[in-house]
A and B are shown apart, each in its own frame.
Chain A
Amino acid sequence: DTGVSQNPRHKITKRGQNVTFRCDPISEHNRLYWYRQTLGQGPEFLTYFQNEAQLEKSRLLSDRFSAERPKGSFSTLEIQRTEQGDSAMYLCASSLEGYGYTFGSGTRLTVV
């Protein structure tokens, strides 16, 4: 297992377009998290899954943001009708019952 994988690494999109990011966690890990990081700040929690159940999503920034983990393996984060303020690094992490947190390299989103 090579760690947490995120794709794409970079995404440039026009304002108003929809984007989807993918995260493949470490296979033994049952928890998967999404964070957002803007310049000069630490990562900000968005949502998390335990297996396929999304147990916390109140921190998703608006109803334009949604996340899925359909079979308890990979996850996707979708942003609809992107805005310039959505430009940020989107990080995925996984853990086993809250231990052994491992982050991916992130997806850098630029909305123009």
Chain B
Amino acid sequence: TQLLEQSPQFLSIQEGENLTVYCNSSSVFSSLQWYRQEPGEGPVLLVTVVTGGEVKKLKRLTFQFGDARKDSSLHITAAQPGDTGLYLCAPQGDYKLSFGAGTTVTVRA
């Protein structure tokens, strides 16, 4: 069973600050997806990382996949209130996603 840990569990920052959230596993990921979920809504796919050492950028969001493909991070530069939400990582298996518990990010105006 793959153990998936996301940290921190909660993060509250002021608008304009930077933040990083982490996703770690005891096993190697074949691929990993990051999602953002707003209250009362379903998760929305942000990015899929596949290759060890890969870095992907999506505007102010930077995603890194560890060289050993056992960890990943999401860095947000100059956070805005619209970045508020639950950030979830999910390794993709043969037919399903297995989500971590997520990091709840609150960006205060």
Contacts and interface: CB of A to CB of B under 8 A. Distances in A.
Are these two chains actual partners, yes or no? yes
Interface of B: 33, 40-45, 88, 90, 92, 94-102
B102 A42 contact: yes
Interface of B, secondary structure class, is loop
Given A42-B90, A101-B33, A55 B95 contact: yes
Contacts, number: 46
Interface footprint category on A:
20 to 34
A91 B99 CA distance: 13
B88 A106 contact: no
Interface of A, secondary structure class, is strand
Interface string A84-112: 00000001010000100111111010000
Contacts of B45: 101-102
Contacts of B102: 41-42
Nearest to A3: B42
A102 B97 CA distance: 12
